[in-house]
Amino acid sequence: MRFSVRITDPSTLSTPCLVLAVYEDGSLPASTARVDETARQTIAKVLKAGDLRGAIGDTLLLQSVAGVRAQRLLLVGAGKPKDLDAKKFATLLRHACSALQKHQLARCATALADLEVKDSDAARKAALLARVFVHQQYRYHATKPKAVKLLQVEEVTLLLRETRERAPANRGLDIGAATGRAMNVARDLGNLPGNVCTPTYLGKQAQRLAKRNARVLKTQVLSEAQMRRLGMHSLLSVGNGSAQDSALIIMQYRGAPASQPPHVILGKGITFDTGGISLKPGAAMDEMKFDMCGAASVLGTMSALCELKPAINVIGVIASAENMPGGSATKPGDVVTSMSGQTIEILNTDAEGRLVLCDALTYIERFKPQSVVDIATLTGACITALGSVVSGLMANDDDLADTLYQCGLQSLDPVWRLPLWDEYQEQLKSNFADIANIGGPKAGTITAGCFLARFARKFKWAHLDIAGTAWLQGSDKGATGRPVPLLLEYLLNH
Ligand code: BES
Ligand code: MN
Ligand code: ZN
């Protein structure tokens, strides 16, 4: 999809479709009013007649309106002028994009970025428009190639009034389109079935990304033998029952001098989670192919960095394994020694995410990171606590937590903090090892965070539990691409 900016009067523009907003109270945003003047109040009449209410997301297509050069006008409801915030603006954009697809309109010009949106400048509005349009057009085809292909909107021209908005809007479009594409990368990986998307497959994708971006990205994939030599027996224990090799994938993005310490993003990459010997119940077990959505968000984010080339250093790490029962699988009660030297009693083999992440956390100490954010579909308890609206946030540093919270609001990819207080650490006591891998039925999301915290003492660290936000269930079943927007917001702010 191509996006561009034009500073021009929308009424004189020739385009197959001009997309304009209208308000619910019958008033018109400035650029719509301008067009309506030359259109002899056709739009006002349409609203007055009640043909379009103007609530967020209502759409109406008009053909050959006298007085305007555009072949069609697509009117989109923007609700009440005073209520329009970024969240509502995103909903409106989604509906506008769907209407274009439905009416087979591959090219359009739009004055939507000219709307007054709370706390949003031209750059923010342009970014959101591009992100929503790119995200909206995603379809899964990898293992369903004959699925009906929806029309793709190919060209969107953003109409603005002020020349000084051109540069920020262009920058916004680049960031937004890259964010949308990165979300779609994450969704494609998340949606792939477990028999295709294995740890080895994830490693290959990371290597492919580096090959295509050799000047800024280097990928390294550690084999099981290499991890054994490093003492990563916790990570390796998870793949013991699987025919698939585990992998630790390291992608180094270099946008700044090597002297600048990197930010690390670390994703849980369990390509299928049966629960292992602590086998999960059968219902909806297929959804455990999504247990690598943290890893997918890391790959998506790294691909956007390669596109946008910000002047920072970022290391994307993926700890990947398949959690299966089997003759050589880890058993409840087994004790393993992690790379950190701490021993772990594995009381439940279904609490495997923390077992792969803890060794990866120890591994990344060598990079002396500025900050570390891990992303994991870690606990069902997080879905109980927060549902599918916000991701769980835990951190050992208040500033990092506050920053991520703000970035979540800004990027419409919100997170909510839970406490990692010492009292909760009590629940992880073991009679047979330094630490148990489960903390009992209470506060399951927090005790999982507390487990990780024991391996994150050497840097500023935050943990995102995306169990409720990484994919949708039901008829819309599929990966969401979250929290790619949050991660990019965070990294690009540096
Ligand atoms: N991948 C799951 C968490 C999960 C479950 C995410 C359902 C999304 C939907 C994780 O590996 C897991 O199984 N966690 C256990 C931990 C428990 C054994 C302490 C859980 O949440 O039940
Ligand atoms: Mn599990
Ligand atoms: Zn899992």
Which of 320, 379, 424, 465 to mutate for ligand 1's pocket (most ligand atoms within 8 Å of CB)?
A: 379
Angle, vertex CA 121, rays to CA 119 and CA 124, nearest 5: 90
What's the pLDDT tens digit per position in 372-430? 999 999 999 999 999 999 999 999 999 999 999 999 999 999 999 999 999 999 999 99
- Give dist(CA 335, CA 160) in Å, integer: 63
Structure tokens at 464: 């995102």
Closest CA relative to residue 86, chosen from 55, 126, 53: 126
Cα(101) to centroid(ligand 2), Å: 39
CATH number of 2-162: 3.40.220.10
Say whether 117 sits in a helix, a strand or coil.
Answer: coil
Helix (H) or strand (E) holding 129: helix 122-136
| Minimal-distance CA residue to ligand 1 atom 9 | 380
Say which CATH architecture domain 182-492 belongs to.
Answer: 3-Layer(aba) Sandwich (3.40)
Average pLDDT rounded to a whole number, residues 66-83: 97
- Give dist(CA 296, CA 470) in Å, integer: 10
* 285: CB partners within 8 A, 6+ apart: 274
Tell me the ligand closest to 276's alpha carbon: 2
Is the per-residue pLDDT at 149 higher than 90?
Answer: no
Tell me the ligand closest to 444's alpha carbon: 1
Give the atom of ligand 1 at the shortest distance from the alpha carbon of 468.
Answer: 8
* φ and ψ of 202, to 5 deg: -60, -40
User: How does residue 148 score in pLDDT terms, banded at 50, 70 and 90?
Assistant: confident
Average pLDDT rounded to a whole number, residues 471-483: 98
- Give dist(CA 454, CA 241) in Å, integer: 26
Cα(274) to centroid(ligand 2), Å: 7
Residue boundaries of the structural domains of the chain: 2-162, 182-492
Q: Which of 107, 139, 280, 331 is catalytic?
A: 280
Cα(418) to centroid(ligand 2), Å: 21
At 7 the pLDDT is 96
What's the pLDDT tens digit per position in 226-249? 999 999 999 999 999 999 999 999
- Could you give the strand order of the β-sheet that contains 435-436, starting from the edge strand earlier in sequence? 334-337, 343-346, 435-436
Average pLDDT rounded to a whole number, residues 279-303: 98
Cα(109) to centroid(ligand 2), Å: 47
| Minimal-distance CA residue to ligand 1 atom 3 | 379
Average pLDDT rounded to a whole number, residues 159-188: 97
| Minimal-distance CA residue to ligand 1 atom 22 | 380
Q: pLDDT averaged over the chain?
A: 98
| Minimal-distance CA residue to ligand 1 atom 7 | 380
Cα(37) to centroid(ligand 2), Å: 61
Tell me the ligand closest to 321's alpha carbon: 3
Cα(268) to centroid(ligand 2), Å: 11
Q: Is 254 a catalytic residue?
A: no
Tell me the ligand closest to 275's alpha carbon: 2
Which of 278, 350, 471 to mutate for ligand 1's pocket (most ligand atoms within 8 Å of CB)?
A: 350
Cα(240) to centroid(ligand 3), Å: 15
Give the atom of ligand 1 at the shortest distance from the alpha carbon of 380.
Answer: 21
- Give dist(CA 154, CA 59) in Å, integer: 20
Is the per-residue pLDDT at 351 higher than 90?
Answer: yes
At 150 the pLDDT is 84
Q: Which of 354, 454, 460, 482 is catalytic?
A: 354
Pocket residues: Cβ below 6 A from ligand 1? 273, 291, 348, 350-353, 377-381, 383, 438, 444, 467
User: How does residue 349 score in pLDDT terms, banded at 50, 70 and 90?
Assistant: very high
What's the pLDDT tens digit per position in 30-43? 999 999 999 999 99
In whole angstroms, how far apart are CA 191 and each of 288, 289, 292?
Answer: 11, 8, 10
How many CA atoms are closer than 13 Å to the CA of 421, on its beta-carbon side? 4
Is the per-residue pLDDT at 203 higher than 90?
Answer: yes
At 146 the pLDDT is 87
User: How does residue 92 score in pLDDT terms, banded at 50, 70 and 90?
Assistant: very high
Give the atom of ligand 1 at the shortest distance from the alpha carbon of 323.
Answer: 11
Is the per-residue pLDDT at 147 higher than 90?
Answer: no
Is the per-residue pLDDT at 180 higher than 90?
Answer: yes
- The share of the chain scoring above pLDDT 90, in percent, equals 98
Give the atom of ligand 1 at the shortest distance from the alpha carbon of 278.
Answer: 18
Q: Please give all residues whose CB falls under 5 A of ion ligand 2, grouped by chain where several chains appear.
A: 273, 350, 352
- Give dist(CA 23, CA 84) in Å, integer: 10
What's the pLDDT tens digit per position in 428-447? 999 999 999 999 999 999 99
Cα(157) to centroid(ligand 1), Å: 45
At 109 the pLDDT is 98
What's the pLDDT tens digit per position in 50-59? 999 999 999 9
Angle, vertex CA 471, rays to CA 466 and CA 474, nearest 5: 140
Q: Is 354 a catalytic residue?
A: yes
User: What DSSP string runs through 346-359?
Assistant: ES-TT--HHHHHHH
Tell me the ligand closest to 287's alpha carbon: 1
